[in-house]
Amino acid sequence: MRASKDGIARTHRQLLLPSKLLSVTNPRKYNAEQRRRELCDAALELLANDGARGLSHPKVDRHAGMPAGTTSAYYRTRKALLIGAAQRMSDLDAADLTRMAELTDSDDRRFSGTLGLATMVVMSGQPPWLTRTKARHELVALAGRDPDLARTIGEVAERFEDLQRALITQWQPAGTDLDPALIDDQAFAVSRFITGVMGDFVRNDDTTYDVAHLDSVIQAILEGIRDSFQRATRV
C-alpha cells in the first residue's frame, strides 16, 4: 500500500516542534535534498513495517509516490540507500536533541532536562515515531553484517552521544566538577538504558512506560554515577 508524501512526513517529523532540518538557499539544491529526504523517509517506513527484506528501490519509489527509477537515480545501490536512511535518521535524532537543548531554560519543562528526555523516549514508542524506532533496530541488525553500514551506524551513534553529553553537562548541579570522564560515564549509562527501553518498544507494540517513572530512573542513573565518581576522587 502506497503512503502519501504527507503521511510519510508526519511519520518522520521531529519529536519536538517540527521544522525543516536543512537550511538551503539554492532552489535546485533544495529540490534535490528534499527528494533525498522523502526517499529516505519512505525507506525508513518500509524498514519499520516490512523489515530489511521489504526494502527495494521500486518499493521505495511506490511508497514515496514517485516515478519509477527515482530512488535508483539518487541511490545507485541498496547499500547506498541504507546508508542514506541511516543518515536521515541521524538528522532527525540530532534535531530532536538540539531542540531539547534550546528548551533547557524555557518555561515549558515537559521538553527540557531529564523530564524532556524521558518524554522523548516514551514518544519514540508511540505512533508515528515508533516507525523510526523500528527502522533503527533494522539498520543496527543489518550493520552487523555490513562493515560500511556499520561505520555509518557508528557515526550516527557517536553524533547522538555527543549531543547527549552536551545535554547531560547542562543538567549537572551547581558546583559539580565537570570532569569529562564523569560526563562520559553518565552518557554511556543513560544511552544504554534508553536503548533497552526502545528495544522493548520494538519487541512489543503494546509496551508502555510512564514518563515520570523513566525520568526518575534517568535521574537515579545520573546521581548514582556522580556520587560514585565523587567518592572515588576523594580517595
Identify the CA nearest to 142 among candidates 11, 42, 53, 60.
53
Architecture of the domain whose range is 5-234: Orthogonal Bundle (1.10)
Q: Which of 143, 124, 7 is nearest to 63 (CA)?
A: 7
pTM of the model: 0.82
Cα 53 to chain centroid, rounded = 22
Say what the alpha-carbon torsion angle 200, 203, 206, 208 is, to the nearest 10 degrees: 0
Q: Is the peptide bond before 147 cis (omega within 30 degrees of 0)?
A: no
Residue 203 C-alpha cell reads as 519487541
**pLDDT given for residue 15 in this prediction:** 56
Measured at the alpha carbon of residue 78, what is the angle toward residues 75 and 83, in degrees to the nearest 5? 70
pLDDT score at 23? 33
Under 8 Å CB-to-CB from 4, ≥6 apart: which residues? 65
178 SS3 class = coil
Q: Name the stretches of the chain with pLDDT < 50.
A: 1-2, 4, 6, 8-12, 17-30
pLDDT at 203: 93
